[in-house]
Structure 1
Amino acid sequence: MIEFDVRTLDTGVGVVTPRGRLNMVAARQFKTILGELVAGGTHRIVVDLAETDFIDSSGLGALIGGVKQTRQQGGDLRIARPTESVMGVLELTNLARVLRPRDAVDTAFDD
């Protein structure tokens, strides 16, 4: 089971926090949430992975889809605070180089 917390920072950055397993079952809902944010005008999104204890290829695909959606609108999707198990998958798939995990949600767009 997974839950998603969605909020917007004062800077206009959307923050999505998946809590639980970001797998094939949850990826569809995750894609929908990201798509709704982008459609609503939020083109800078941080996915806070501090409470995500597992991610599979479907979850990774949803993240990459979110990157594509935001960049097509002139924005970006960044990830922050991945757990050790999620970071292991990101490194194994070389997506850590593409997504470049950030240490904090609030400063993910400070560069």
Structure 2
Amino acid sequence: MAEEKVANSNRTEQREQLSVTVTATDDIQVLNPAGEIDHHTGEALRHALDVARTTHPRVVVDLHGVTFMDSSGINVLIAAHHALTQAGGWLRLAAPTDTVMRTLQIVGVDSVIDCHDTLRQALAG
């Protein structure tokens, strides 16, 4: 019975994975998550943001590859925004899909964290 749960758990993880790539441009960390950000995958984004802020306090999260985000993703972004601001840096969001932007607007994140239509705009500030 335990083996069956592990097998089901593995299938679920594969279906709900989030990948996050990180690059640096002009002393700004750029995170590119792809997939869904929810309570199953939010930890991957949280970890990437934690690592990014230890090397550069200025971070852009390019959301063009995110197809869905729930309150878990919102919480990760708010926590990162506070941590980066306290460290003298900032967090900006770039290129959210319509679905993700609606979520950001509904909860008011777009009034707390700078949101930009494109990555280029977010990098320019």
Q: Give the greater-gyration-radius structure (CA).
A: 2
Residue 58 of structure 1 corresponds to which residue in structure 2? 72
Q: What is the CA distance between 1:100 and its match in structure 2? A: 3.1
With structure 1 as the length reference, what TM-score do the two structures score? 0.91
Q: Kindly tell me the number of residue pairs found equivalent between the two proteins.
A: 109
Task: Tell me the C-alpha RMSD between the 2 structures.
Answer: 1.2
Q: RCO higher in 1 or 2 (8 Å CA, sep ≥ 6)?
A: 1
Q: What is the CA distance between 1:109 and its match in structure 2? A: 4.3
Can you give the 5+ residue segments of structure 2 that lack an aligned partner in the other structure?
1-16
Amino acid at match of 1:30: L
Can you give the 5+ residue segments of structure 1 that lack an aligned partner in the other structure?
none
Residue 5 of structure 1 corresponds to which residue in structure 2? 21
Q: Is the 8 A contact 2:34 2:66 kept in 1?
A: yes
Q: What is the CA distance between 1:45 and its match in structure 2? A: 0.2
Partners of 2:44 and 2:64 lie apart in 1 by 19
With structure 2 as the length reference, what TM-score do the two structures score? 0.82
Amino acid at match of 1:7: T
Residue 19 of structure 1 corresponds to which residue in structure 2? 34
Which aligned runs of 4 or more in structure 1 are off by greater than 6 angstroms?
none
